[in-house]
Structure 1
Amino acid sequence: MSLFAIKAIYIICALGYNNFNMKLISALLTYIAFFTIIIGCVIEFHSLYVRSSILNQELRKFYNLANFNSHNYIFICDRDFNISYMNNKIKEYYKFNVTNESFKETLLKVNDVKNNINEIMRVLDKEGTWRGRLKGNEGNSIFDCFIQLIHSEENNDKN
């Protein structure tokens, strides 16, 4: 932008003169300004591309860690238990025949979840995490649970 300002000052100062060298310098200043803008855009796009590549690489690491975790059942839901993500461990348990809605229904049928939901939500609101053991309805299965609030930037709600 400063080159355009210099060109404008140059044109104002040279208003009384009308020769070829003045026109050539004016055109040269215009080309230099546009070339500088183009180079700046290319550098900015390259910088964004590099940062985007790094973020995509980190996202792939996180996705592989969560999705292909063979030891933990991982899912993401909101406060109303609307499931937005389930890892492969959960899907394998249900023989890949599970939807977000059916998993929500199954989760809400667990007696220990129904009985402790108010306490879990209270602790989550206070501390941001909850850790405890929940018994399955079969009676012989116990789940070691860790629940963490995630602050979503999309809607600024706690998930």
Structure 2
Amino acid sequence: MINYKFVSHSNIKRLISIIKLNNRVKINKITYLAKKISKTLDSNLIKSYIIYFPSKDLNKKDFTYIAIISSSHIVISSYSEDDSLYLDIDVAWCSDKIINPNDMAELLKETFGKDLRKILTIKIYDYLGNMMMAFSPDGMMIAEFSE
């Protein structure tokens, strides 16, 4: 049985991250990442699916992974370049939980290991679109804003 709790629209938060990987990624790593994010948010992964798209290189396919979680959604899209693969990670949730950008960086490192070339950005926004926290590529928290 899932326990529902009522939350206010002011509990809506969003995480946006862009990372650069080696030229490959296995879908099981994307699924693992979504499950770990869901667990961090005390949410249940309800349903997920993947849509494949042609990329510039005809031997590869880009994808969008969509997961419905009990507190909202996770969308991860890939963009192939000549020597790299970029992932755009978008997580939205409605709860009082907050994902710390440094913890998210550690989760990305754990998930992708040696395939992770660079974390370009991790930013957390509130329901009004105001940035609450941000992460710099050197691993230091660069901003923490209060309301």
Give the TM-score normalised by structure 2. 0.24
The structure that is strand-richer by fraction is 2
Higher-Rg member (1/2): 1
| Higher RCO, Cα 8 Å, sep 6+ | 2
The structure that is helix-richer by fraction is 1
Give the TM-score normalised by structure 1. 0.23
